[in-house]
């Protein structure tokens, strides 16, 4: 085993450990709340001393940012995949809405952080997190604008329509329960149906019917 | 001046002082965040010692609950007023949406609390706050259900539609700026337009056109 192999194995082990810490922290954050969770408590769950914990992650705040980045990266990855599909803005947004709810449903603890700690994590301190979020928002606005330009959507202000959509989606974190009777899939499709009918130009539909 | 007059004046003065404390606290919460605001800081702004502050309010948490109650009471007051109007479910919800955004715009500091501290204030500890919120949500669901029963709305699950609506509305707190170019009025009307078109049954509209 040469030197570079050793380094790579060490890096892998470190990355794995880091991921374990992130998951443990996410659990604690969602059970006790972000503010009530101490670095000591996180260290205890993963059987590390606090100083050993800090060789993997910088601080409790950094853990929160890493967790949030993973969620937003997943959302953005989906959005870029959808962007490359040769479908209409309506279909792009439909798919994005369904997958947004799916991502939230699969990362409930990290998603909750977004509601409860975003005010602590300022854009100036964590430019990468906010840049990812802005790219996601920008794609949504772009598709709404494309639909508006094509006469498919009837919206006065693309920003307002984008905020309405994202706000309703992010609020799902607040009431969704993985133990409940509603699946993320059924929520996603119902949201997509309501939100896209809400954006759609009625005139356009009439024109299509007349044509 | 008899005894009862003196008592009533004292009560009035106390209520006024209490309101001053609430307003000062709301300002601090929105500037520094709920968690970073101490009872000492609130006492300082209203020129009281901390122990004098506690003769007016029980704790920082109680201040937050009182502020939130005032906002939810205002929302519920509006909803009940609208409920008494002899108009269709569509018009009731339209008015409610416009007034919801208006209330948020007039109480930005208290409304922000709703996003940042609701997880600290549990339903078990503050049943009155949550009862008010539930009554508000119940009226919205009732109107959606009425519209659904009348065939005006096409929704599969009244709860999902209600959450979508309330989520998008509450998220306005997150991005609205009183210094920005958008007025609460224009936001409210655009939200109402998009959300109600989203709920509306297309079939019904077609039937009406055909009739």
Q: What is the pLDDT of residues A5-44, one digit of tens each?
A: 788 888 898 899 999 999 999 989 888 878 788 999 999 9
* Burial of residue A73 (number of CB atoms within 10 Å: 0-12, 13-18, 19+): middle
pLDDT over 70 percentage in chain A: 94
> Within a 10 A sphere around the Cβ of A65, how many other Cβ atoms?
21
Q: Which two tokens stand for residue A116?
A: 């409860």
* Burial of residue A189 (number of CB atoms within 10 Å: 0-12, 13-18, 19+): middle
Of B160, B161, B194, the CB nearest to A199: B194
Could you tell me the CA-to-CA distances from A200 to A5, A33, B14, B119, B164 in Å, in that order? 56, 39, 53, 36, 17
B153: helix, strand or coil:
strand
List CB contacts (< 8 A) between A191 and chain B: 160, 164
Average pLDDT estimate for A118-138: 87
Task: Give the CATH number of domain A1-58.
Answer: 1.10.10.60
B86: helix, strand or coil:
coil
Of B119, B120, B167, the CB nearest to A171: B167
Q: Which two tokens stand for residue B167?
A: 């989520």
Average pLDDT estimate for B147-163: 97
CA distance A46 to chain B (A): 25
Task: Tell me whether B201 touches chain A (CB under 8 Å).
Answer: no
The confidence score (pLDDT) of residue A1 equals 61
List A residues 19-48 in contact with B (Cβ-Cβ < 8 A): 33, 35
- Under the banding of pLDDT at 50, 70 and 90, the label for residue B192 is very high
| pLDDT tens per residue, range B47-82 | 999 999 999 998 888 999 999 999 999 999 999 999
Interatomic CA distance for residues A129 and A174, integer angstroms = 21
Choose among B187, B1, B192: nearest CA to B91: B192
The confidence score (pLDDT) of residue B204 equals 46
Q: Which CATH superfamily is domain A61-210 in?
A: Tetracycline Repressor, domain 2 (1.10.357.10)
Q: Which two tokens stand for residue A60?
A: 């409790």
List CB contacts (< 8 A) between B33 and chain A: 119-120
Q: Each residue of B98-119: b (16+ CB within 10 Å) or e?
A: bbbbbbbbebebbbbbbbbbbb
List CB contacts (< 8 A) between B200 and chain A: 197
Give the nearest chain B residue to A171 (CA atoms): B167
- Under the banding of pLDDT at 50, 70 and 90, the label for residue A185 is very high
Where do the domains of chain B lie?
A: 1-58, 60-210
At residue A64, φ and ψ (nearest 5 deg) are -60, -45
Give the nearest chain A residue to B121 (CA atoms): A33
Of A166, A182, A194, the CB nearest to B164: A194
CB B190 within 8 A of CB A156: yes
- Under the banding of pLDDT at 50, 70 and 90, the label for residue A207 is very low
* B60-210 is a CATH 2.60.40.10 domain: no
- Under the banding of pLDDT at 50, 70 and 90, the label for residue B1 is low
Interatomic CA distance for residues B40 and B43, integer angstroms = 5
Query: How far is the first Cα of chain A from the last one, in angstroms, to the nearest whole number?
Result: 72
Whether residues A165 and B160 touch (CB distance < 8 A) is answered with no
Residue with tokens 């930005």: B108
ipTM (interface predicted TM): 0.88
């Amino acid at each position: 085993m040469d030197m570079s192999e050793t380094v790579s194995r060490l890096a892998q082990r470190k990355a794995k450990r880091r991921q374990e810490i992130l998951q443990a922290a996410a659990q604690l954050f969602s059970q006790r709340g972000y503010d009530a969770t101490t670095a000591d408590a996180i260290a205890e769950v993963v059987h590390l001393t606090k100083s050993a914990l800090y060789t993997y992650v910088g601080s409790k705040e950094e853990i929160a940012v890493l967790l949030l980045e993973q969620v937003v990266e997943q959302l953005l990855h989906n959005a870029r995949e959808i962007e490359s599909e040769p479908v209409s803005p309506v279909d792009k947004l439909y798919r994005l809405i369904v997958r947004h709810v799916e991502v939230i449903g699969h990362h409930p603890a990290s998603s909750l952080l977004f509601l409860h700690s975003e005010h602590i994590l300022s854009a100036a301190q964590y430019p990468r997190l906010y840049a990812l979020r802005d790219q996601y928002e920008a794609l949504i606005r772009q598709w709404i604008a494309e639909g508006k330009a094509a006469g498919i959507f009837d919206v006065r202000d693309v920003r307002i329509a984008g905020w309405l959509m994202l706000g309703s989606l992010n609020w799902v974190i607040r009431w969704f329960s993985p133990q409940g009777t509603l699946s993320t899939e059924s929520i996603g499709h119902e949201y997509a149906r309501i939100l896209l009918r809400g954006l759609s130009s009625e005139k356009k539909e009439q024109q299509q019917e007349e044509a």
